Amino acid sequence: MHYKAIIIGTGPAGLTAAIYLARANVTPLVIEGIQPGGQLTTTTEVDNFPGFPDGIMGPELMDNMRKQALRFGATIQSGLVTGVDMSNRPFTLFLEDGSKLTADSLIISTGASAKKLGIPGEAENIGRGVSTCATCDGFFFRNKRIIVIGGGDTAMEEAKFLTRFASEVRVVHRRNELKASKIMQDHARGNEKIAWSLNRTPLEVTAGPMGVSGLKVRNNETGEEELLEADGIFLAIGHTPNTGFLGGQLPTDELGYLQVISGTSQTAIPGVFACGDVQDRIYRQAITSAGSGCMAALDAERFLSEQTLHIFA
Ligand SMILES: Cc1cc2nc3c(=O)[nH]c(=O)nc-3n(C[C@H](O)[C@H](O)[C@H](O)COP(=O)(O)OP(=O)(O)OC[C@H]3O[C@@H](n4cnc5c(N)ncnc54)[C@H](O)[C@@H]3O)c2cc1C
């Protein structure tokens, strides 16, 4: 099958792009991947998406976006894109079930996955005290004890941000030295609400019926196990942008985020656009993803109209 535009991913970026393209009569195909609705389907309340004064549950917000895209004629198809050939237009997409699709333009909105430790208690307590986003969830931890795991700039920034809510923030890092820049370390170390458990390897997230109760760690110096009590655990060990299926055809930054021309969604290949977390190492929010999804749709629409003009010129 051939489409004028194919959008890969149904998070806030992909579905916003779908709404805009469908309303512009481009009738895009949207491919869902293994997480229909994207990351917000894994959370409960979303309090910071404008337009919902009482907040909205993540899955409901995504279901609304999906219905809105369908209402204007977008087609949403389940399936995983395993490869793309961008050497010629139309671009060819290879799906996991062996089928092929072609498209005149492509919007990549495949998100970025937070890295996890893979320790017992971690996966089952995501949303019950384990979080990967301080901006999203910090507010829910007023006057509570929080652990931030990580030693880079992001961990320092998140720890500092979380001191606005928490009674104590404890940074846990498996090495004695932090990877964070000196200035970020100095800021964090100067904050009296931040405590430190360095040279500790996280072993297990402990939890009770009310959610997380602490983090079991091994003291790398003594080899002894310790239990650090906490109500919330924030993982700040990085993200992996979901770009493996692109096979390196598009330039990325050193962390693997797709690069776009500043102020646009245009990648290095004309007709290929990127939006949402997959190209955003800084903000990674639903609203910024939706905003960049809108940009990608407008850019794709302009690209497609210019191609039509060339044909008739
Ligand atoms: C637990 C949690 C809570 C959060 N809370 C908030 C909050 O309260 N407020 C806020 O603003 N932000 C929050 N965020 C962040 C927000 O969810 C993300 O910034 C946003 O979802 C990114 O949108 P996206 O469209 O770029 O990608 P995603 O939502 O990550 O969606 C990516 C999509 O791409 C698809 N995909 C990936 N690879 C492929 C492939 N190869 N083929 C086909 N499809 C593919 C996936 O199936 C998915 O549909 C939270 C994140 C998490 C994890």
Position 14 confidence tier, pLDDT thresholds 50, 70, 90: very high
The alpha carbon of 12 and the centre of ligand 1 are apart by a number of angstroms equal to 7
Q: What is the pLDDT of residue 82?
A: 97
CA dihedral 274, 280, 285, 286 (to 10 degrees): 0
Domains, the chain, in order of start with CATH, read 2-114+239-312 (3.50.50.60), 123-235 (3.50.50.60)
Q: What is the pLDDT of residue 311?
A: 62
The alpha carbon of 222 and the centre of ligand 1 are apart by a number of angstroms equal to 40
For residue 308, pLDDT over 80 is answered with no
Mean pLDDT of 285-308: 95
Tens digits of residue pLDDT in 206-234 = 999 989 999 999 999 999 999 999 999 99
Tell me whether residue 136 is one of the annotated catalytic residues.
yes
The alpha carbon of 8 and the centre of ligand 1 are apart by a number of angstroms equal to 12
Tell me whether residue 137 is one of the annotated catalytic residues.
yes
For residue 240, pLDDT over 70 is answered with yes
Q: Is the distance from the beta carbon of residue 206 to the nearest atom of ligand 1 less than 6 Å? A: no
Tens digits of residue pLDDT in 32-78 = 999 999 999 988 889 999 999 999 999 999 999 999 999 999 999 99
For residue 91, pLDDT over 90 is answered with yes
Q: Are 253 and 268 in contact (CB under 8 A)?
A: no
Q: Is the distance from the beta carbon of residue 284 to the nearest atom of ligand 1 less than 6 Å? A: yes
CA 213 to chain centre: 26
Separation CA 291–CA 122 (nearest Å): 31
Q: Given 137, 231, 277, 299, which residue is catalytic?
A: 137
Tens digits of residue pLDDT in 114-134 = 999 999 999 999 989 999 999
- Strand 194-198 and strand 168-173: the pairing is parallel
Q: Is the distance from the beta carbon of residue 48 to the nearest atom of ligand 1 less than 6 Å? A: yes
Q: Which residue has the tokens 């010129």?
A: 313
For residue 312, pLDDT over 80 is answered with no
Q: What is the pLDDT of residue 122?
A: 97
Separation CA 2–CA 29 (nearest Å): 10
What does pTM read for this prediction? Answer: 0.88
* Closest atom of ligand 1 relative to the 277 alpha carbon: 26
% of the chain beyond a pLDDT of 70: 98
**Averaged pLDDT score across all residues of the chain:** 95
Q: Given 104, 136, 277, 299, which residue is catalytic?
A: 136
Q: What is the pLDDT of residue 64?
A: 98
Q: Is 111 left (phi over 0), alpha (psi -120 to 50) or beta?
A: left
The alpha carbon of 34 and the centre of ligand 1 are apart by a number of angstroms equal to 11
Q: Is the distance from the beta carbon of residue 243 to the nearest atom of ligand 1 less than 6 Å? A: no
Q: Are 92 and 85 in contact (CB under 8 A)?
A: yes
Tens digits of residue pLDDT in 156-200 = 999 999 999 999 999 999 999 999 999 999 999 999 999 999 999
Q: Which residue has the tokens 């003009």?
A: 309
Q: What is the pLDDT of residue 42?
A: 83
